[in-house]
Structures are given as C-alpha cells and as structure tokens.
Amino acid sequence: MSTDQDQMTTTTVRFYDSTFYTIALTSVAYLLFQIYSIRP
C-alpha cells in the first residue's frame, strides 16, 4: 500500500541529491576557473 509513497520519497531524495551535486560541481568549477584566471 505504501509503495507509491516510498517511490515518491526516493524520487524526491534523488532529485535533491542531483541538485546538490550539480550546485557543488558548479561551485568547484567556478572556483577553479577563478584560480586559473587570477594566476598571471
């Protein structure tokens, strides 16, 4: 009976995980870009 709810929760967790990883990767890439840009 609760399989639908479990599936929904898993999808939500996956969505938040992917969003977190996307933001983290973007931040790391931006920091690396800034470091290489500042370097003479």
Number of helices (H), then strands (E), in the chain: 1, 0
The sign of the CA dihedral 7, 9, 13, 18 is positive
Please count the structural domains in the chain.
1
Return d(Cα 16, Cα 13) in angstroms, integer.
5
Q: Cα separations (Å) of 2 from 5, 10, 13?
A: 5, 12, 17
Low-confidence ranges of the chain (pLDDT < 70): 1-3, 40
Q: Which two tokens stand for residue 33?
A: 């870009």
pTM: predicted TM-score of the whole model, two decimal places: 0.54
**Quick one: pLDDT at residue 15?**
81
Cα gap 28→1, rounded to integer Å: 42
Domain holding 2, by residue range, is 1-40
pLDDT on residue 7: 76
